[in-house]
Amino acid sequence: MPGGVGDIDYFKACYWKDFVGVTVRTYDSNTGLWRIYWVDNRFSAGVIQPPVVGKFKGNVGIFEGPDTYKGIPVVVRYTWTLNPAPAATAPQWEKVLNPKGTPVAAKWEQAFSRDGGKTWETNWYNELIRDDNCTPTS
């Protein structure tokens, strides 16, 4: 984004027909805080959700904020890990999805808490690898 105040990405998933999501991240250089906003055309009905807020300490960033799941108020937490240490032995599912064993550039996890952050349930997990042979499509 102009002036280094953040970035934007677009997310498409073939799992849901015609699904499109947008993430807007803003950065406050005075506090080191990131605010991450999400909107999509399926679950948020075009309404920008309240941000998750947090910062990086070393290579791990934790970002939390209010959300709802099936009408129930929850706290959502995103955990980003940049350049994570490789696992000694990759699980079979990871070998299938990453047969060349390309190093993981980042890991992202989403978790919900129904008790104000005392306990967490991870419900979405991604590992990102670099792919120099990828050709983005619209």
The pLDDT value given to residue 37: 94
CA dist 96 to 17, 64, 93, 103, Å? 25, 32, 5, 14
Q: Which residue has the tokens 């979405």?
A: 124
What confidence score (pLDDT) does residue 89 get?
Answer: 65
pLDDT at residue number 1: 58
Section 31-44 average pLDDT = 90
What's the rounded mean pLDDT across residues 54-60?
95
Section 79-107 average pLDDT: 79
Average pLDDT for residues 43-70, to the nearest whole number?
Answer: 91
* pTM value > 0.75: yes
